[in-house]
Amino acid sequence: MKTHRAMVAVVLSLLVGMVGALAGSTSPALAVVSVGATSATMIAYSGRVDGPPEAVALNGFVRVTTKVVRDPDFGKPPIVLLNVDFSGVTGVGLITKAKYVTSGEQALIRPLVPVDVVDVTFAVFSGTALGQTRARAALASLTLAYDTGTGALTAAGANGSVSVADSLATAPVQ
């Protein structure tokens, strides 16, 4: 009986100690960041992808969202969390008139500068069930202008005049 009471006392002491340690412990220091301006805009995009099985004309809107993050503790330069979504861009085959679709979003980290030119590749593929297995690369060159004081996105544009040929078109046949 005395052994049982002693065991209960030890177990209770351990439980109280563990709960106290958990409740009183401090978590690791977390960096404090300041989120500046958050912006979202739609940019008109028009481009072309050349290569087999056919050239594809692309048109639509690219959704761009930005979030400026500043580090007040260590004074590091501010960054922009950039999200580029191509799901609003579609294509049409120039020979077959077949429908082509594009890949979704990309998340990038960029420095906050007055004017940032960002070249982003994305996938273009046939709208059929097996279309994703034959995806090709396309390129969008985005020009983003910021107010570096507030972090606000002040202007945005896309250049789709750059054509990316399918890499298989220039590869030697074996």
Strand ranges in the chain using DSSP code E only, listed in sequence order = 34-49, 56-70, 79-85, 89-93, 99-102, 105-111, 115-126, 136-146, 153-159
Res 144: pLDDT = 94
Closest by CA position to 126, among listed 134, 118, 115? 134
Give 99: exposed, middle or buried? Use CB within 10 Å, 0-12, 13-18, 19+: middle
Residue 85 has pLDDT above 50, yes or no: yes
pLDDT of the residue at 63: 94
Residue scoring higher pLDDT (11 or 98): 98
Bigger pLDDT: 167 or 149?
A: 149
- Encode pLDDT of 42-83 as tens digits: 999 998 888 888 899 999 999 999 999 988 888 889 999 999
Cα–Cα distance measured from residue 48 to residue 59, given in angstroms and rounded to the nearest whole number: 9
Q: Look at residues 81, 80, 122 and name the one whose alpha carbon lies nearest to residue 103.
A: 122
d(CA 44, CA 60): 6
Over range 12-19, report the average pLDDT: 50
Distance, in Å, from the CA atom of 60 to the CA atom of 50, rounded to the nearest integer, reads 18
pLDDT of residue 174: 40
Q: Taking all residues of the chain, what is their mean pLDDT, rounded to a whole number?
A: 78
Which of 2-11, 52-61, 106-115, 118-127 is the least confident region?
2-11
Q: Read off the pLDDT band of 132 (50, 70, 90).
A: low
Say whether pLDDT at 162 is over 50: no
